[in-house]
Structure 1
Amino acid sequence: MPELPDVEAFRKILASCARGGRIQRVEVYDAGVLHGVSPRRLSRDLEGRRFTEPERHGKWLLARTDGPTLLLHFGMTGLLVCCRPDDALHAHDRVVFTVGDDRQLRYRDQRKLKGLWLAGESGVARLLDGQGPDATEIGRSDFDALFSGRRGTVKKVLTDQSHLAGLGNLLADEILWRARLYPAHRAGSLTEDQRGQLYTDMRRTLRSAVRAGRVPPRSTWLTGHRDDTDARCPRCGERLRRERVAGRGTVWCPRCQAD
């Protein structure tokens, strides 16, 4: 499932593959991934335009052009791929942008849970209006304020995009494991020290994951073991537990993250 580090990697792909290039052709192979725009208007409004510097907010990628902005959200299975025009079309390539003479950007998505939007500046603002601050940019005081008086779980706060944009299930579990916090711990009861440790571990985890372009399944990370048949904590060796917290399948270590 693409989370902040994946989308940052897609931003870099867009920047290296298409920035400054003229959009020669837009081909829509599945209109089911388009939101609020028809295939005809998508082509009409983008062909002949140039991609400029792309941006990211949370899990949203903003493909800026010298006209409207193309917004991409990758849902659970979306990808952005840079190809050559003569590369075979993948079964899940939904929209293809030919840029210049020798490059194609392809929005590839198996499950089609999100997709593409096209908007001017006011439309971009409306689409992102419900998003909280980006998880890589939030300061400590604003981070602390997210938890003040909250009755829900700490995992709920971390994964609620209206509170904090960019963290998904893998990142939240990884960060909580590093901070030694029980995922169902009540958010409003965190101590100042716990909030400080959580903030520090979030920043460290995000830096490593962004460098990797994903939440890496390393042997020293919880993510590297959560899907093992006999999943064990890489820190203490305790058998990992699973249950639903904040409506999401959650993995944690009952020894390191005791309630």
Structure 2
Amino acid sequence: MPELPDVEGFRKVLDSCARDRRIQQVEVYDTGVLHGVSEGRLRRELEGRRFTGAERHGKWLLAPTGGPTVMLHFGMTGQLLCCRPGDERHAHDRVAFTVGSDRQLRYRDQRKLKGLWLADDAELARTLDAQGPDAAAVGREDFDSRIRRRRGSLKSALTDQSVIAGVGNLLADEILWHARLHPARRAGGLTDGERCRLHDDMRTVLRSSVRAECVPPRESWLTGHRDDPHGMCPRCGTELNRGRTAGRSTVWCPRCQPEPA
């Protein structure tokens, strides 16, 4: 499931593969991933332009062109790949941008839960205004204020993109495990020290994950054991608990992350 670290990896793909290269051709293999734009308009607006940048905010990847901005969201299974125009088409390739004479940027997505938007400046601003600050950049005071105001669970607060942008299910569980906080704890009930620890551990997890371009399944991390049928906490050896918090599948250590009283 692409989250902030994965999308940062896709940003690097866009930057290295297509930045400042002329968009020679746009091919749409499946219009089901286009939102608010037709196949014809996508071609008319983009062919002949250049991708002038590669930006990310939370789970959104932004590709400005000097005109409209291509906004990509990867849902559960989306990917961005740099290929050659002659490479065999994958069954889940949905849109391809041929850039220059020898490269092709492909949006690939099995489940098609999200996709591509074409946004002018006003539409781009509306989308980003609905997002919280990027999780990799949010400062301590802003984070503290946003978490303190929440009435729901910590898991819900961390995965709400209007509160903090970029954290999904895997990251939230990993961050809370590092911070020794139960996912069902009430966000507004944390002490100052707990909020400080949560912010510090979020930044630590994100730095390592961005370098790996995913939430790495390390033996010393929760993610390295969450898919084991009888996974054990890598910190204390207790068998991990599994359940649902805020409507999401959740994994935690009952010893390191005690339930709220």
Q: Smaller-chain TM-score range?
A: over 0.9
For 1:140 and 1:183, the matched residues in 2 are separated by 20
Across the aligned residues of Structure 1 and Structure 2, the Cα RMSD in angstroms comes to: 0.7
Give distance in 1, aligned partners of 2:14 and 2:51: 9
- TM-aligned CA deviation for residue 104 of structure 1: 0.3
The normalised TM-score by structure 2 is: 0.98
- Rounded to whole Å, the distance in 1 between the matches of 2:139 and 2:66 is 32
The size of the alignment, in residue pairs, is 259
Give the partner amino acid of 1:237: G
Q: Secondary structure at the match of 1:96?
A: strand
Partner of 1:253: 253
Q: Which moved more, 1:227-236 or 1:23-32?
A: 227-236
Q: 1:249 to 1:96 in 2, by over 3 A?
A: same
For residues 35 and 129 of structure 1, what CA distance do their matches in structure 2 show?
Answer: 19
Query: For 1:207, what is the secondary structure of its paired residue?
Result: helix
Secondary structure at the aligned position of 2:12 is classed as: helix
Instruction: Indicate the residue corresponding to 2:193 in structure 1.
Output: 193
- Using the alignment, how far apart are the partners of 1:28 and 1:150 within structure 2? 42
1:113-159 alpha-carbon deviations (Å, 9 max, x no partner): 00000011111112222111100111101111112242211111100
**Are 2:61 and 1:61 aligned?**
yes
The aligned residue for residue 3 of structure 1 is: 3
Alpha-carbon displacement from aligned partner over 1:58-99 (angstroms, at most 9, x marks no partner):
000001112210000000000000001111000000000000
Q: Note the C-alpha offset of 1:230.
A: 1.4
In structure 1, the residue matched to 2:15 is: 15
1:25 counterpart letter in structure 2: Q
TM-score (norm 1): 0.99
Alignment of 1:23-62 (within 5 A): 23-62=23-62
Question: For each residue in 1:23-52, what CA deviation from the matched residue of structure 2 results, as whole angstroms up to 9, or x when unmatched?
Answer: 000000000000000000000100000111
3-state secondary structure, aligned to 1:118: strand
* Structure 2: runs of 5 or more not aligned: none
Q: Identity of counterpart residues, as a percentage?
A: 70
Structure 1 SS opposite 2:251:
strand
Structure 1 stretches (4+) deviating beyond 4 angstroms?
A: none
Show the counterpart of 1:104.
104
For residue 66 of structure 1, give the secondary structure of its aligned residue in structure 2: coil
CA deviations on 1:174-196 (whole Å, 9 max, x unpaired) are 00000000100011110011001
Q: Secondary structure at the match of 2:41?
A: helix
Distance 2:22 2:53 in 1: 13
1:160 partner amino acid: D
